[in-house]
Amino acid sequence: MNGAQDLGGMMGFGQVAGEPEGEVFHADWEKRALALTIASGALGEWNIDMSRHARETLHPTDYLASSYYEVWIKGLEKLLVARGLVTSEEMAASSVLHAPRPTSPPLAAADVAPALAKGTPCDRPPQAPARFKVGEAVRTLNVNPSGHTRLPRYARGKRGRIERVHGVFIFPDANAHGLGPSAQWLYLVCFPASELWGREGDPALDVSIDAWESYLEGAAG
Amino acid sequence: MGSVPPPIGGDNHAQRHDHDDGGLADIELRVRALESLMIEKGYVDPAALDAIVETYETKIGPRNGARVVARSWADPAFRRWLNEDATAAIGSLGYSGRQGEHMTAVENTADVHNLVVCTLCSCYPWPVLGLPPVWYKSAPYRSRAVIDPRGVLAEFGLRLPASTKIRVWDSTAEIRYLVVPLRPAGTEGWSEERLAALVSRDSMVGAGLATDPASLAGEAAA
């Protein structure tokens, strides 16, 4: 969706403010927001693409006015309500009003390290040969889906070249909407800045995205 | 600007803020309330929450990545492995899992400088760099890294010659990119531990270079 999360190429946000390496959190609530997000995710009630979609469907003014951990918490609240785990009334009242819904057991402290070390691999075995090969010219589709997509606006309808074939990966555009993994070939596609930004493009800049096969069509040359 | 919709949970947040909150901001109250609900309903274990925080405060951070880079500088066989199968090479040092399931290492050269961004969210290689800094997740960086990376780098104090090519990697999928900065001159024969001390977090995102050892010598003498 063309939401506030799709920031590439926008202007007017000002300078980038660096920060020292040792500053992991800036307030205690950020620690709790991180931990709650990870531990809630471990219930298996949603996947990472659903999480991203919950965040990007915040109202654009809300998204842009929120710090990133605030975005996470607001997204988490939406997921919890959508899954029937917590109700809006409970959040408003800050107290439990309904019995918990049965779920898988909560993540135990002893399982945190192994769960984090294992992660959630998103690659899948190929079921068909890759359509494109390294070096081939491709064009990204000019699409504007109302649902989740990982094809940023600045890279739609653009001509680039396949630089690597990453393998077959879960397709977020489907997975975010409960339509299953629908795994597809994933490619590294590289564009010269002039293709993305026209005459303002830095002549010594290339930008790449990772693009699923259905984002791409063949391009002459 | 349109009006911001009321946060989920309604106006009670604002009302609660008016009394008995000890001066806490709305978001602090909101997170605290949600945590209490989740614990009371049995969906999360508070000990697990503490373990997650402790992991990212003390165990998983950019020193992991610095050790990967130092090994790559010091060991040609490891460097080849890192370039061919970064996930396995990094895993051999004990760094794996969440947000680093599919790693790719990209080496800076004399001619090409790499910079990593996630314009759509905050994708970042956690096992090697830890949690992303605020700037990496912020609108200024995410908006400009793909259109004006030279300007962004200048704000980090890094002014590259116009002839240096810049390659920006927008992390739009589950591939996570680790920049391997150029090894500084004058470090021949250094141990991996000494080399790792030259590798900053920013240099592994591409927002900086490895530290010049001459500047370290200056600090030691000071």
Q: In the predicted model, is pLDDT for residue B188 greater than 50?
A: yes
Is the complex ipTM higher than 0.85? yes
pLDDT of residue A58: 98
Residues of B numbered 33-62 whose beta carbons fall under 8 angstroms of chain A's beta carbons: which are they? 33-38, 40-45, 47-53, 55-57, 60-62
Q: At what angle do helices A28-41 and B26-40 cross, to 10 degrees?
A: 40
Q: Give the span between the Cα atoms of A58 and A4, in whole angstroms.
A: 8
pLDDT of residue A122: 98
Which are the contacts of B148, defined by CB distance < 8 A and separation ≥ 6?
A202
In this predicted model, what pLDDT tens digit does every residue of A29-47 receive, in sequence order? 999 999 999 999 999 999 9
- What does pTM read for this prediction? 0.93
Which are the contacts of A54, defined by CB distance < 8 A and separation ≥ 6?
A46, A75, A76, A78, A79, A82
Which has more pLDDT, A162 or B2? A162
CA distance A14 to chain B (A): 6
Which has more pLDDT, B22 or B19? B22
Q: Is B45 close to A202, i.e. CB distance below 8 A? A: no
Q: Is B134 close to A67, i.e. CB distance below 8 A? A: yes
* Own/partner long-range contacts of A179-183 (Cβ < 8 Å, ≥24 apart): A181/A124, A183/A123, A183/A124, A183/A127
CA distances from B172 to A129, A192, A202 (A): 22, 17, 21
3-state secondary structure of A102: coil
Structure tokens that stand for A1 in this block: 């969706």
pLDDT of residue B220: 52
pLDDT of residue B214: 86
In this predicted model, what pLDDT tens digit does every residue of B5-16 receive, in sequence order? 333 333 333 333
- Interchain contact B84–A (C-beta under 8 A): no
pLDDT over 90 for what percent of chain A?
99
pLDDT of residue B1: 37
Nearest by CB to A39, which of B37, B52, B117?
Answer: B52
